[in-house]
Amino acid sequence: MDLIFERKVNYYETDRMGIVHHSNYIRFLEEARCDLLSKLGMPYSSFEEKKVMIPVLGVNCSFKHHVTFGDTILIKTFAKEFNGVRLTLGYTITNKKTGDLVLTAETKHCFTDTNLRPIRLQKQIPEFYEKFLNLQ
């Protein structure tokens, strides 16, 4: 399965220097994460329908190279850790044209009920639990 999310950089995402402002990478990661869930057959909306939330606990980014307006980036998303309660996703962003590594990152999440109390995904949505296991 292709777990690469392709995205073109918009002008409004750049700063005065003409490069993508660092804050936008968090949005790019979220877009890639939502794309991953959809490709796995479990769009984020399906979690919400089942009263399961996936809050972000932390984000860690390491900037390697810049991209500018009009560049196309490729975001590879992969599971680093998953135990049914917590999930860590890894990301690599590359410039499609040059192949330059732009960013490495990870986001940490947990699965909760609508009151933000941790839950075990295996118990709540076993079919999604299995999909995450197969992603590792």
Question: Active-site positions?
Answer: 15
Q: ∠ CA 32-17-107 to the nearest 5 degrees?
A: 25
Contact 29, 78 (CB under 8 A): no
25 forms beta bridges with none
Distance of CA 54 to the CA centre of its chain: 12
How many residues appear in the chain? 136
Tokens at 4, concatenated: 């690469």
For residues 128 and 14, give the distance between their C-alpha atoms in angstroms, rounded to a whole number.
Answer: 37
